[in-house]
Amino acid sequence: MQFQKEVEILAPREKVWQFIWDVDRFIACVPGCKDAKTIEAGKRYAATMVEKVGPFKVEFPTTIEVLEREELTRIKAQASGADNKIGSRMKLDLDVHLREEGDKTILGFVAGVDILGKLAALGHGIIKRKADQVLDEFAQAVKTKLEGDG
Amino acid sequence: MLRRFRLEEPESVAEAAELLGRFGESAKVYAGGTELLLAMKEGLVQYERLINVKKLTGLSDVTTADGTLVIGALCTHHQLENSPVLRDKLPALTKLEQNVANVRVRQVGTIGGNICFAEPHADPGTLLIALGATMIAEQSSSKREITAEDFFVDAYETALQADEVLTKIQVPIPAPNARSAYLKFGYLERPSVGVAVAFNLNGGVSGVRIAVGCAGPAPRRVAEAEALLEGKSKDEALRHVAEAGAAAGRAAQAISDLHGSQEYKEHIVGVLLKRAFQSALS
Amino acid sequence: MAKAMTKHSDAQSIPVSFTLNGRLQEIEVEPHELLLDLVRDQLGLTGAKRSCDVEVCGACTLLVDGRPVSACTTLAFEVRGRSVLTIEGLAQDGKLHPLQEAFIEYGGFQCGFCTPGMILAAKALLDETPNPSEAELKHFMHGNICRCTGYKKIIESIMAAAKKMRAKA
């Protein structure tokens, strides 16, 4: 599943870039994400993703690897997790872009999400909708956090 | 094999609600089990306790009271398809119940369980919305009403709180000049698209209610389509039904999946609305 | 008394007294046990088959109080106080039921995998509607799937059995 999102943030690029690497605050923007840990600053992180669709709940201990990094411009990352209770795995390929537009920063990302295992039984449509919701909420939360801080 | 769980068998709604409140997410209401046991067999959900509600009394009847038809949540589809009261007052619902799943699911599956599990590809919810039904949800010492329109929140998600038990479904008994119909389409085990229409016929059509189910994450009323038919004469309405169908299709929030692409489902919504409307008129 | 499964120390035991093919059984089951497993593995009645495991195909059909259920998705304790009929209980004193005879005479089965469920469902149909139209028959039997026959011979078998049963009645 592929998703593309863009959000306009009324904040300078440097501030947005710094925010991304402030792991605790950044992870707090991802709905269902908790217990963020830095394993190797700038390279490896860990968190737990908890998502629910009705009675179906998944908890993915997730590892996030930063693959490429272009200061103030781009991040390429990969995340993966497995919920053994429910026999499912999650894979995420993330490409994050920042660009300046006047006094605004455009934060864009392209996400490739794969759900494998039993959870896929819920149906591609339901999962896609959920993933879309999560990414939308995430983009909005980042915007709100950054603009709110003034 | 299912994972081991404890069986609780409360004898009152209050007791059932109390158990749900006490055990939270580790407990689940169990009636016919036609959806729940499948999810459990698949390993998609796990519970420490199942709360068997089949010992609760007074929840498996179909009665009338003050112009309202009251359907107990524990009524099986089989009971409903054979209920003389239902056949007399709501033949469209009788026909729907006759065609739910297969004879074995109808034998043990309950209408309450069906709407509470809120599987997107299901029938009753769509017609209940068009008929203006109200659900009665009870906790240990309180009751509330939830309109069918508000009941279905999302795929597998209803407006019920964690410790609420659905006890009754109330449907206003249609007036003598009321018409309704439910049509579905599907070629897999579960329906792919369902459309329900209800209106009053008195020279023209009024009080039009249209609902679409199965195509999107939850059944929903489509006011956009209703507006195109409301208040029109019979013939005018028939001329506008294709337009209404297109509006209903767009409003259905159709999801592309194994049942069909979004475009295909939207198209089928239009076809079914036209046929349901014509069927209701005849 | 049926042999109990290895007991977990926390096991909740539900006494289940029921009639199986006309004979009283008194057993104990745990809440999570499925009727199909009880019937096949503990009671040795393997006519009912585990096929789709999602209540769609009907190969696991059993009659509980004369009504068809999917044994694969029925908890075993639910038969307490009820009567259960499996295909093994249909013939009486070695004499086949008219449905069984008709399926043989009219070729209503090929591999036979769906047949126990098919015959039990047909019995429930005819007990409810002794003279079904083809439409009524198809509607009732809609949930019993056959991969071999194409259904024509199944319909003929059931209709023939119905005729015979009406004549006898």
In angstroms, how far is CA B37 from the centroid of its own chain? 20
pLDDT of residue C5: 54
- Domain span at residue C60? 14-89
ipTM of predicted complex: 0.95
- Percent of chain A topping pLDDT 70: 99
How long is chain A?
150
B156–A124 CB contact, under 8 Å: no
Q: Which residues of B touch A55 (CB under 8 A)?
A: 28, 39, 45, 156
Residue ending a domain, choose from B172, B201, B228:
B172
- Say whether the B–C interface has 3 or more Cβ pairs within 8 Å: yes
- B183 and B155, same domain (yes or no): no
Read off the pLDDT of each residue in C112-138 and give the average, rounded to a whole number. 98
- B126 and B164, same domain (yes or no): yes
> Which of B44, B188, B263 has the most A C-beta neighbours within 10 Å, making it the best mutation to test the interface with A?
B44
pLDDT of residue A150: 45
Determine contact: A86 vs chain B, CB below 8 A. yes
State the pLDDT confidence band at B48, using cuts at 50, 70 and 90: very high
Residue ending a domain, choose from C34, C58, C89:
C89
List, in sequence order, every residue forming a beta bridge with A83; answer none if it has no partner.
A88
Q: Is residue C51 part of a domain?
A: yes
B45–A55 CB contact, under 8 Å: yes
**Mean pLDDT computed over every residue of chain B:** 96
Amino acid letter, A117: G
- B203 and B167, same domain (yes or no): no
- B13 and B67, same domain (yes or no): no
C34–B78 CB contact, under 8 Å: no
Determine contact: A96 vs chain B, CB below 8 A. no
Closest-CA distance of chain B to residue A81, Å = 17
- B152 and B192, same domain (yes or no): no
State the pLDDT confidence band at C11, using cuts at 50, 70 and 90: confident
**Mean pLDDT computed over every residue of chain A:** 89
Give the CATH number of the domain where residue B161 resides: 3.30.465.10
For residue B195, count CB atoms less than 10 angstroms from its CB and return exposed for 0-12, middle for 13-18, buried for 19 or more.
buried
- C84 and C107, same domain (yes or no): no
Strand order in the sheet with C23-29: C23-29, C14-20, C83-85, C61-64, C67-70
- B145 and B187, same domain (yes or no): no
Residue that the structure tokens 């794969």 belong to: A114
Residue ending a domain, choose from C89, C120, C144:
C89
pLDDT of residue A122: 77
Determine contact: B189 vs chain C, CB below 8 A. yes
pLDDT of residue C103: 98
- B12 and B32, same domain (yes or no): yes
Q: Is residue B57 part of a domain?
A: no
Q: Which residues of B touch A121 (CB under 8 A)?
A: 42, 44
Give the CATH number of the domain where residue C80 resides: 3.10.20.30
pLDDT tens track for B129-151:
999 999 999 999 999 999 999 99
130-159 in chain C: CB under 8 A from chain B:
139-143
State the pLDDT confidence band at B280, using cuts at 50, 70 and 90: very high
- C63 and C116, same domain (yes or no): no
Residue ending a domain, choose from C44, C59, C89:
C89
Distance, CA of A53 to CA of B28 (rounded, Å): 16
Q: Tokens for B270, please give them.
A: 């239009």
Q: Is residue C8 part of a domain?
A: no
Q: Is residue B1 part of a domain?
A: no
Q: How many domains does chain C have?
A: 2
Read off the pLDDT of each residue in C154-167 and give the average, rounded to a whole number. 97
Residue ending a domain, choose from B155, B172, B189:
B172
In angstroms, how far is CA B153 from the centroid of its own chain? 12
- Domain span at residue B184? 178-281
Which range has the worst mean pLDDT, A129-138, B74-83, C155-164?
A129-138
pLDDT of residue A26: 83
State the pLDDT confidence band at A126, using cuts at 50, 70 and 90: confident
Give the global pTM.
0.93
Q: Is residue B201 part of a domain?
A: yes
Read off the pLDDT of each residue in B166-179 and give the average, rounded to a whole number. 97
- B198 and B142, same domain (yes or no): no
Half-sphere exposure of B226 (CA within 13 A, CB side): 17
Residue in chain B closest to A128 (alpha carbons) equals: B255
Read off the pLDDT of each residue in B101-122 and give the average, rounded to a whole number. 97
- B109 and B195, same domain (yes or no): no
What H or E segment, with its residue span, contains residue B116? helix B111-117
State the pLDDT confidence band at A27, using cuts at 50, 70 and 90: confident
- Say whether the A–B interface has 3 or more Cβ pairs within 8 Å: yes
pLDDT tens track for C26-69:
999 999 999 999 999 999 999 999 999 999 999 999 999 999 99
Q: How many domains does chain B have?
A: 3
In this complex, the residue of B6, B38, B107 whose CB is nearest that of residue C69 is B107
State the pLDDT confidence band at A149, using cuts at 50, 70 and 90: low
User: Is the pLDDT confidence value at C1 over 50?
Assistant: no
pLDDT of residue B234: 94
State the pLDDT confidence band at C8, using cuts at 50, 70 and 90: low
Distance, CA of B13 to CA of B141 (rounded, Å): 9
- B80 and B117, same domain (yes or no): yes
CA distances B71 to A130, B16, B79, B142, B269, Å, are 33, 19, 11, 19, 28
Determine contact: A1 vs chain B, CB below 8 A. no
State the pLDDT confidence band at B237, using cuts at 50, 70 and 90: very high
B157–A86 CB contact, under 8 Å: no
Residue in chain C closest to B49 (alpha carbons) equals: C31
- C84 and C131, same domain (yes or no): no
pLDDT of residue A92: 92
- B205 and B231, same domain (yes or no): yes
Q: Is residue B31 part of a domain?
A: yes
Q: Is residue C161 part of a domain?
A: yes
Q: Is residue C162 part of a domain?
A: yes
In angstroms, how far is CA C35 from the centroid of its own chain? 11
- C18 and C85, same domain (yes or no): yes
Packing angle, helices C134-141 and C115-128, rounded to 10: 130
Q: Which residues of C touch B121 (CB under 8 A)?
A: none
Residue that the structure tokens 């409003």 belong to: B251
- C153 and C120, same domain (yes or no): yes
pLDDT of residue A107: 92
- B81 and B16, same domain (yes or no): no
